[in-house]
Amino acid sequence: MSDHGCIHLNNFKAAKGIQPYKVIHSFFVTSTSNEARVRKAVSCLCHTCKSYKDRLHSCLHCIFFGCYVKGHIQEHAKTKKHFLAVDLCYGNILCFQCGDYVYDRELLVVAKAQWSETAKSLSLGEFYRTWEPSLYEVELLKKNPRRRRVVENSTIGLRGLINLGSTCFMNCIVQALIHTPLLRDYFLADRHHCPQPNRCLVCEVSSLFQEFYSGNKAPLILHKLLHLIWTHARHLAGYEQQDAHEFFIATLDVLHRHCEQYSQVAPLIVKDNPHHCNCIIDQIFTGGLQSDVVCQACNGVSTTIDPFWDISLDLGPTAGSGGPSSGLSKEGGGAPTSLLDCLERFTRAEHLGSSAKIKCNNCQTYQESTKQLTMKQLPIVASFHLKRFEHSSIQDKKISTFISFPEQLDMTPFMSHRRNGNNNSAAPNGLHKNGEDAAFSDNRYSLFAVINHEGSLETGHYTAFIRQQRDQWFKCDDHLITRARLKDVLTSEGYLLFYHKQILEYGRNSKV
């Protein structure tokens, strides 16, 4: 079928132009203004049977709406001899003389422009469209006729990394980042454009993705990446053993700062984030942590929301463990044994104690208070850091207790609106405001990477388990990549755990 319409449509266009189609489209197919939407709601009914569905069509010649399923638009066409109609669901043109829908290039362009305008008027970003290669892309595809097909047992995307002398901390983080689904999609779609390709870390990461997916199986040497990290995050320079967690955060920070510097508007903004930064790192890794401090005298709540990239979880027994959150909790308890335990503890209201009185904004006096952390906004990739390395004035030690973690994780119980509902009394209208969209959102995550530390505090070795192609697991030990079972992953010690959100929501101001 061609996209040059038909003789009947061409005759119509010659007589009346494209304006009739444009008007019908902008009011009744995709309404481009509020006024149009009201009109559409009120008047888009079959003039014969008053139905609003059943493939409603509008006559292109006069003001008439009729449904197709019960034959009312056909009837109109026959009696009035108005042989062209517009389908009001998709905007396609039906020619009764040809007996089918016809495609017209000129009108398709009109329709496309209207879609964009509608999306804009609803602040929905851009509506989805199937990919149509540009002229440049057509050229590229012609020049490179070989296609790579990813089959079930394909090992594409897997490459070992040479250890450059205690750089396993870097290797395992690189493996985790390379196998972060959304980050992979971003880089393989060539979304990073850079004015300074030589010194840019993001470009280096981008070319790394190309290397991983080139099909070459030889292990990679990350000397350039290492050098760039050393230049941008000086505290990591040198050939000493570094902490993988520290390296992870430093890497995100360097990438984020790079992206910010040369930022361009990202076409698809995945969700609000508290950083107000559009860079790919923030879109994927940033969440918002809500902290509620409740005054014990007047019950006044002071709430702050801070961005986070990862969540560090205490593993020691509840009372008197090290770190800044050493305050006593309401319920004392043993050490946590699962990730859920840790998260439950992390989001539990804790009493700040009598020695830490805080000035309450509500009653303006210094009072004892409780503090509670909850998830206000979940990131797309949730990274958990199990604090296995304990540093205190007495001794440094590694906690090797087994902490179980699930393959599928639902974060709903740790969301602000849920937690506050059960515990301290949050303002009722605040609760409602969150509840509206948050209560029905899907907060399920699935595990896609685990980083393990083997050995002691002084000498140890990092390895990573990564998921590839939905449900296959591999162990990455520097240059060695071996197949692993899910059981091996779930029974490993676990130092850094990476979870990916299962369902993504679209659009920043999306009403949906």
Partner 1 sequence: MKTSPHQTLVKAGDRDGLKELLRRRLVECGWRDEVKLICKEIIKENGQDITYDALLAMVTSRARSRVPDVVKKELLQKIKNQLLAQEEKLKLT
Pairing between strand 56-59 and 65-67? antiparallel
Of 375 and 438, the one with the shorter C-beta distance to partner 1 is 438
Report the C-alpha gap between 464 and 476 in whole angstroms.
Answer: 5
**Which lies closer to partner 1 via its Cβ, residue 115 or residue 473?**
115
> Could you tell me which of 455, 467, 468 has the C-alpha nearest to residue 495?
455
Q: What is the DSSP code (8-state) at residue 29?
A: I
How far apart, in whole angstroms, are the C-alpha atoms of residue 326 and residue 314? 10
Cα 149 from chain centre: 26
Helix and strand totals (H; E) in the chain: 16, 21
> What is the CA 253 to chain-centroid distance, rounded?
18
Least CB distance from residue 23 to partner 1, whole Å?
18
3-class state of residue 307 by DSSP: strand
For residues 315 and 386, give the distance between their C-alpha atoms in angstroms, rounded to a whole number.
7
User: How far is Cα 122 from Cα 31, in angstroms, rounded to an integer?
Assistant: 10
Within 10 Å of residue 56's Cβ, how many Cβ atoms? 23
Q: What angle do CA 483, 486, 489 make, to 5 degrees?
A: 85
- Choose between 122 and 382: whose C-beta lies nearer to partner 1: 122
- Whose Cβ is closer to partner 1: residue 139's or residue 437's? 437
Q: Mind telling me the catalytic residues? A: 168, 461
Q: How far is the CB of 130 from partner 1 (least distance, A)?
A: 8
Task: Indicate the residue among 155 and 510 with the shorter CB distance to partner 1.
Answer: 510
Please say which residue, 366 or 506, places its beta carbon nearer to partner 1.
506
Burial class (CB in 10 A: 0-12, 13-18, 19+), 369: buried
Q: Residue 184 Cβ, how far from partner 1 at the closest point, in Å?
A: 16
Helix (H) or strand (E) holding 258: helix 244-261
Q: Write b or e for each residue in 476-486: b if 16 or more Cβ atoms lie within 10 A of its Cβ, otherwise e.
A: bbbeebeebee
Rg of the chain in Å (alpha carbons): 29
Q: Please tell me the distance from the alpha carbon of residue 414 to that of residue 401, in angstroms, as a whole number.
A: 24
- Compare residues 62 and 268 and give the one whose CB is closer to partner 1: 268
d(CA 405, CA 49): 59
- For the CA atoms of 95, 100, 105, 109, the dihedral, rounded to the nearest 10 degrees, stands at 80
Q: What are the beta bridge partners of residue 483?
A: 474
Closest CB to partner 1 among residues 128, 136: 128
User: Checking DSSP bridges between strand 350-351 and strand 311-313, what pairing results, if any?
Assistant: unpaired
- Shortest approach of partner 1 to residue 124 CB, angstroms? 6
Binding site for partner 1 (CB under 8 A): 1, 30-31, 34, 37-38, 40-42, 44, 52, 99-101, 118-119, 121-122, 124, 127-128, 436-437, 440, 442, 503, 506, 510-512
- Best CA proximity match to 411, nearest among 367, 389, 380: 380
Residue given tokens 């099909």 in the structure block? 215
In angstroms, give the least distance from the CB of 325 to partner 1.
Answer: 36
Q: Which is nearer to partner 1, 130 or 354 (CB)?
A: 130
The Cα 473–Cα 490 span in angstroms is 11
The distance of Cα 227 from the centroid of its chain, to the nearest Å, equals 30
- Shortest CB 55 distance to partner 1, Å: 9
Q: What single-letter DSSP state applies at residue 132?
A: -
Q: How far is the CB of 99 from partner 1 (least distance, A)?
A: 6
